[in-house]
Amino acid sequence: MEPRLRGISRAYLLSIAFWYGMSFLMGLQYKPLDRHNLWFSFLDLLVQAGVRAFALALWTPPIFYLAEKYVSYSANRFPYVLLWGLGAVPFVLLHLAILCLVIPPYVSRSLQAWLEIVRTSFADDTLVYIAMVVAAHAYVYLKRVRRQEAEKYEYQQALAASELQALKMQLQPHFLFNTLHGIATLADEDPKTAKAMLIKLSNLLRAALERDSSDLIPLESELKFAREYLDLQKMRFGSRLKIEWAVAPETYQLLVPQMILQPLVENAVQYGIAPLREGGWLEVATDAENGMLNIRVRNSAGGKPSNGTGLGLRNVEARLKYLYSGEASLHLAIAEDRTVTASLALPTLNSRPANMNGRRTHASSDATTPETNDPLCAF
């Protein structure tokens, strides 16, 4: 009950404030201040403006209320407009009755005096009534449009969230089938390695399933998942696969979409390195500049390089569109030396402040990697 009373009180206060200002300005226009008795005439103007404002503000919230409640009947235009038109009669009579009772120079309280006031002021009050009705309907339609826009926005957000979830769910079977296919090729040739790969794959899938439903995670977590996936591929390709990392320390805590990197490295291994009999290399590099996080996956390519229109890359592009609304991009470039580069550019979003001092810029999962001064650390 209290919120309703507060709403009614607020409506009347706003109505009185609006009509008081309008009545004061109209009073200045029709009855200029008396220079010889300035303060008295100014006080008289304030009082008359206050009473006129009260007389108009008394009917404004009810008109707005009725417009909002019965606007659904506006489909029947003629009866609807006719009823609102007939409402001008009681409005004018009651409004002028109040003015006749309380405001000078309406000194006479006789019926004849009131009828004379009605005759001379009916047109002006009717115009005021029409303006109030039009304003009430404009307000109602504005509220309706804003409510529809809010509902549309919420629907789009819910739709985007569901589509993002579907895209993430789509990646897991795609990644699983591709990896199982690679394991199947080793089942007869190297059963021991195939078994080890199955165990590694199960651990990787368990880690993927245990992740929460957050759309964005620190790059450090995404790099860890990609590194474990590449460890799995290294078991399959052995020395034919060289992996290099050049990760800027300041990028570890920047937020990226879940499983945004894995499709890129999977695409590089499957379509770039796997066709090469002698093997190939893959490099993952990151840096941050000008408010953007840049992630690059470069790889050597065998056969005719593909422009990358597979499910994984389409999935990445779709997720970037939903999450960043055009502020992020994915570009695929093929150089003359048959090097393929997939470049991600994402707005920099920090997960938390972190002291990165002493953090290794380059990571490797191969304990036998020789020491090198090269900025890329191969394993």
The domain that holds 314 is classified in CATH as 3.30.565.10
**pLDDT at residue 172 in the model:** 53
223/123 same-domain check: no
Average pLDDT along the chain: 76
For 178-187, which contacts have Cβ atoms below 8 Å and span 24 or more sequence positions? 178/266, 178/270, 179/232, 182/233, 182/236, 183/236, 185/236, 186/236
Judge if 105 and 220 occupy the same domain: no
Q: What mean pLDDT do residues 145-171 have?
A: 65
The arithmetic mean of pLDDT across residues 205-231, rounded, is 79
Domain range for 127: 2-154
- The answer to the question of residue 186 being in a domain is no
Q: In this predicted model, what pLDDT tens digit does every residue of 79-116 receive, in sequence order? A: 888 888 888 888 888 877 777 776 655 445 667 766 77
- Please count the residues of the chain: 379
**Which domain-ending residue is among 105, 124, 154?**
154
> In which band, very low, low, confident or very high, does the pLDDT at 77 lie, cut at 50, 70 and 90?
confident
Q: What angle do CA 63, 151, 141 make, to 5 degrees?
A: 25
Identify whether 179 is part of a domain.
no
Long-range contacts of 157-165 (CB under 8 A, 24+ apart): 160/322, 163/318, 163/322, 164/215, 164/319, 164/322, 164/323, 165/213
pLDDT, tens only, 39-50: 666 676 676 677
Domain count for the chain: 2
Q: Are residues 215 and 290 in the same domain?
A: yes
Cis previous bond, 105, omega within 30: yes
Q: What is the pTM of this model?
A: 0.49
Among 10-24, 187-201, 219-233, the range with the most confident prediction by mean pLDDT is 219-233
Can you count the helices (H) and strands (E) in the chain? 10, 8
- For residue range 111-142, list pLDDT tens digits in order: 776 677 777 777 878 888 898 899 889 989 99
Q: pLDDT of 227-272, one tens digit each?
A: 888 888 888 888 889 999 999 999 999 999 888 888 898 888 888 8
Choose one of 138, 154, 170: the last residue of a domain.
154
Residues 226 and 147 in one domain: no
Q: Which residue is associated with the tokens 């990392």?
A: 245
112 and 12 in a single domain? The answer is yes
Tell whether 253 and 125 lie within a shared domain: no
Q: Can you tell me the distance from the alpha carbon of 61 to that of 57, in angstroms, rounded to the nearest whole number? A: 7
